[in-house]
Structure 1
Amino acid sequence: MKKLLLLALIVAFTANLYAQTSDKKWGVGLGVGAYGTLNNGEIGLMPELYLGRYLSQRFDLMLKGDMGIFRTRMENNLDLANAFLNLRLKLSDESKNLRPYLFAGPGYLHDNSTSAVNFDLGLGAKYYMSQNTAFYMEAGYIRGIESTTYDGITGRENLWKATIGLEFDLGKTKDSDMDGVSDKKDNCPNTPSGVAVDANGCPIDTDGDGVADYIDDCPTVAGLTSLKGCPDADGDGVADKDDKCPDTPKGWKVDATGCPLDQDKDGVADAIDKCPDTPDGIDIDKDGCPVDTDGDGVADYLDKCPTVAGTKENNGCPVIEEAETETTSPEMTVEPVYFDYDKSNYISGEKKKIDKLVKILKADNNLKVNLTGNADNKGTAEYNMTLTEKRIDSVVKTIKSDGIPESRISKEKALGETKPVANNDTDEGRALNRRVTFEIIKVK
């Protein structure tokens, strides 16, 4: 008996056990074991049957029936029947796989000679082999009643018992969302069908960001609820996985790809573009504004004098205040100087015309001369324009060498072949078009 009790204690306190739960409140147990008397050591066989009812996380109520048969030296096969109403104290919660317990309660015993109220107490353990089936093992003490034995001795017969058996839990677990977790334990009772859940019945959230894996576009990396669980390192509202510019500075407006807005497409983000409406194709500076080479406030693409500071009113060109002038009299007119074909030096006989010009200028310091150059149409327009400039330069060089300061000489823009005075289809006409003309002006 001592060995059997010791074995029961070891099982009860070294194993993890289950029991009836709040989901399955009823249990039926069927077992068999041995019983014996404490005073004379007689032993018999003890089948038992019980019906259990879940009360709370700590207590079950059990209606149990034990029978004693084949007892030593007893002539009758059935020598006792005992019914108990036991309260079972569970020593671990429902989350464990195995569970120990204590039990005790009043009973009603009938043996061969008498019937009376008695009680039992003991300990046990249950191990669930499946969701509904458990193996149990328990040992206990039965307080007997006074009776007269077969040999005429009257006394109280106290018993011990040890049984093993199976318990079958009854009751259907309600699981509204069919996720395998009963509604009573389900913290998320409306989980969509087919979604993997944890022990609490809630959808699995691998990265712990509050967005369940089944709706998380980035299930292994913690992110933002607003971005379906994906992170946004630069905080621009575009998830990193979709962000083509993941290092955009804080506060900058971005487009759908996460890159800084650049409305005028000049390569400078609107956030730092001081001229966000620059027209397409215009050269810009580091601030996104059109280049203004001369710094006069007129962008080069609008500036008619981009290398010389001017005014906005004069399209970027400087305003030159010219002195009032009057055209000189006809007697001070100087004939044009002519040039040979493709030559920048004037014809040798033309020097006398320049001499006349110099004499007129020396006679009156208030006189100035403007020069205009022309060419025939032989060659390209660009070549003739350059040739015209060289012809003007050669005449100016002669005028200066004769003592006229450069301040009294104005060079008009070379006209090339654009202003012919004769027909370029003849040699004579072309000869008349290869010229530098003079305009003498008196400055008041």
Structure 2
Amino acid sequence: MRKTLTKLCAIASAFVFLLSANSAVLAQNADQRTNLQLYGSALQYKGDLGNQWWTSKLGWGGGVSLNQYLSPSLDAGLHLSYSNPEFSNGFPNTMNTKIGMAMLGLRLKMYGNILKEDAFIGPYLTVGGGGHFARAEGMSPTGAYDDNFVAFAGFGGAGIRFRFSDNVSLFVQSVAHFTSNDMYDNLDGSPNAPSDINDRFLQHTIGLGFNLGKGTDTDGDGVPDRRDKCPDTPTGVQVDKEGCPIDTDGDGVADYQDDCPTEAGVANLGGCPDRDNDGVADKDDQCPDEAGTVATQGCPDSDGDGVADKDDKCPDTPRGVQVGADGCPVDSDGDGVPDNEDLCPNSAGTAETKGCPELDARTKKLIEEKVRFEFDQARVQDGYRQLLDSIVVALEKYPDHVLLIKGHADHIGSEEYNQALSEQRAQAVKDYLIQRGVQNPDRLVTRGYGETQPLVQVNTRLSKARTAAARAQNRRVGFEMNTPDMKLNME
């Protein structure tokens, strides 16, 4: 008997080692692969003294099981239990047997394939075998007996698991034990009808199961990767049972990204509603029931000037015209002519002159002056600097006017040479004006006319000495100052 007991212990130890060694592999198929069960059980006897099966006569006990997940359909288990079945069929025949069991078993689960693994009710079938360590006591027709022995046994039965959570479940099961020994009641067959049928037992069990271990949870949201449909959820985000971020309003935008988590909206507006579909969320839309623009905070802007119709005092402003806060065209110089119609937007004028000021008499007279040059020279003489400084002042007074600087030469020399010389003289005057600080030099236009436009007609048959004064009149730079709406005389 000691040898048999030693063998059973070795088998049980090997099985436990096998379950532990396989844990890494089994982890690929289940989140919590190990299950520990604590239970109470009752044994009912059927043997030579009689039959207790399905009666109220129970022998109570208890036990513990260690189960390991093998596949969605199968679990393996090591079951250790103790029970004390009793029976009496009248004096003197009595049985009071204490049985310790060490059994290995397989569980065929209905809640891995047929039903969902996390179903509340999970039926299963179970089979297995192992050893009974029995101490048989009682009274038989041969007298009192007290014997210890080991018997091999196989079992088969069914049960139901009730799942309360991922970690805790309750189970009930009934299995029948078929033994290799007929001496639990000290009778090898009944006195009147010897039998080869060994003693048998029904074991009824109820207990709690605790799932151990933890499945891989990459994003740390409490839902194992195997069941997580959103395995990359950011840390700290509340998720549903499928591991996806909570979306309270069901608009497809998770609450942690939703600026309006209790109102269904659209993704491109942070999950907020937009009743008028103008691209501005209702919470930011000053006209939520009228389609508008982002620039006008969701309000209509008929003329597209960036000022909402409700604030626009000039709702028909042409497209592209710069407007003020009131939606009306800007009038920079305050002359009543808007900049988009004002030819001189920086100088106050009148509607009749298209917003440009008329040149005053002094400026008109100033522009009629001429700058004279020495023979064959393009240098501005000092005596004309005061004239040019006065022109600078006039240009500041009329910042939108254009000054045409016209260079001329006398007839001495070739036409080509005189043309170049006239251009140099016009450029010298322009350079002086720029040096003196004329604003916007681009409005200074130079043009050279060579010898083609003399002020004084010179008799070329006379000597240079006799024509010197006339020729000096023709060596000049003249001016023409026009408003932008007037065509400059470039001829």
- TM-score, with length taken from structure 1: 0.50
- Do structure 1's residue 60 and structure 2's residue 75 form an aligned pair? yes
CA shift digits 1:127-154 (9 cap, x unpaired):
54x6534333222222344635513424
TM-superposed deviation, 1:26: 0.3
How many Å separate the matches in 2 of 1:263 and 1:150? 106
In structure 1, the residue matched to 2:124 is 102
- Cα 1:241/1:80, change in 2 over 3 Å: closer
| Match of residue 171, structure 1, among 186, 201, 213 | 213
Larger Rg: 1
Question: How many residue pairs align between the two structures?
Answer: 266
Q: Secondary structure at the match of 1:220?
A: coil
- Do structure 1's residue 184 and structure 2's residue 226 form an aligned pair? yes
Is the contact between residue 222 and residue 229 of structure 1 (CA under 8 Å) also seen in structure 2?
A: yes
- Do structure 1's residue 93 and structure 2's residue 116 form an aligned pair? yes
TM-superposed deviation, 1:226: 1.5
How many Å separate the matches in 1 of 2:99 and 2:73? 35
TM-superposed deviation, 1:219: 1.8
CA shift digits 1:255-295 (9 cap, x unpaired):
2523323269653266xx478567447999xxxx99xxxxx
- Do structure 1's residue 262 and structure 2's residue 272 form an aligned pair? no
Is the contact between residue 87 and residue 96 of structure 2 (CA under 8 Å) also seen in structure 1?
A: no
Q: Secondary structure at the match of 1:147?
A: coil
How many Å separate the matches in 1 of 2:84 and 2:240? 50
Is the contact between residue 36 and residue 161 of structure 1 (CA under 8 Å) also seen in structure 2?
A: yes
How many Å separate the matches in 2 of 1:62 and 1:164? 16
In structure 1, the residue matched to 2:177 is 142
| Match of residue 30, structure 1, among 34, 38, 42 | 38
- Do structure 1's residue 238 and structure 2's residue 280 form an aligned pair? yes
- Cα 1:269/1:108, change in 2 over 3 Å: farther
How many Å separate the matches in 2 of 1:267 and 1:245? 19
In structure 1, the residue matched to 2:51 is 41
How many Å separate the matches in 1 of 2:320 and 2:131? 104
Is the contact between residue 99 and residue 126 of structure 1 (CA under 8 Å) also seen in structure 2?
A: yes
In structure 2, the residue matched to 1:210 is 252
Is the contact between residue 87 and residue 104 of structure 1 (CA under 8 Å) also seen in structure 2?
A: yes
How many Å separate the matches in 2 of 1:133 and 1:248? 56
TM-superposed deviation, 1:25: 0.9
RMSD of aligned Cα (Å):
3.8
How many Å separate the matches in 1 of 2:149 and 2:320? 114
- Do structure 1's residue 124 and structure 2's residue 166 form an aligned pair? no
- Cα 1:133/1:216, change in 2 over 3 Å: closer
Unaligned runs of 5+ in 1: 1-19, 291-300, 305-444
TM-superposed deviation, 1:165: 2.5
How many Å separate the matches in 2 of 1:62 and 1:124? 16
How many Å separate the matches in 2 of 1:160 and 1:234? 73
TM-superposed deviation, 1:35: 1.0
Q: Secondary structure at the match of 2:216?
A: coil
How many Å separate the matches in 2 of 1:254 and 1:47? 74
TM-superposed deviation, 1:248: 5.0
How many Å separate the matches in 1 of 2:266 and 2:316? 26
- TM-score, with length taken from structure 2: 0.46
Q: Secondary structure at the match of 1:162?
A: strand
Is the contact between residue 44 and residue 85 of structure 2 (CA under 8 Å) also seen in structure 1?
A: no
How many Å separate the matches in 2 of 1:81 and 1:170? 24
Unaligned runs of 5+ in 2: 1-26, 53-57, 89-93, 135-147, 190-194, 323-327, 342-349, 354-491
CA shift digits 1:33-80 (9 cap, x unpaired):
211223513553343332111234443222323444353366775346
Is the contact between residue 23 and residue 184 of structure 1 (CA under 8 Å) also seen in structure 2?
A: yes
Equivalence map 1:18-417=2 (5 Å): 22-39=30-47, 40-41=50-51, 44-72=59-87, 77-79=97-99, 81=101, 83-91=103-111, 92-96=115-119, 98-110=120-132, 115-116=151-152, 118-128=154-164, 132-145=167-180, 147-148=182-183, 149-153=185-189, 154-156=195-197, 157-246=199-288, 248=290, 255-259=295-299, 260=301, 261-262=304-305, 267-268=314-315, 273=318, 276=321, 279-280=329-330, 302=351
Which letter maps to 1:188? C
Is the contact between residue 74 and residue 106 of structure 2 (CA under 8 Å) also seen in structure 1?
A: no
How many Å separate the matches in 1 of 2:217 and 2:85? 48
How many Å separate the matches in 1 of 2:266 and 2:286? 18
- Cα 1:241/1:187, change in 2 over 3 Å: same
CA shift digits 1:193-224 (9 cap, x unpaired):
33222111211112222211122122222222
TM-superposed deviation, 1:228: 0.9
Is the contact between residue 63 and residue 86 of structure 1 (CA under 8 Å) also seen in structure 2?
A: no
How many Å separate the matches in 2 of 1:132 and 1:50? 16
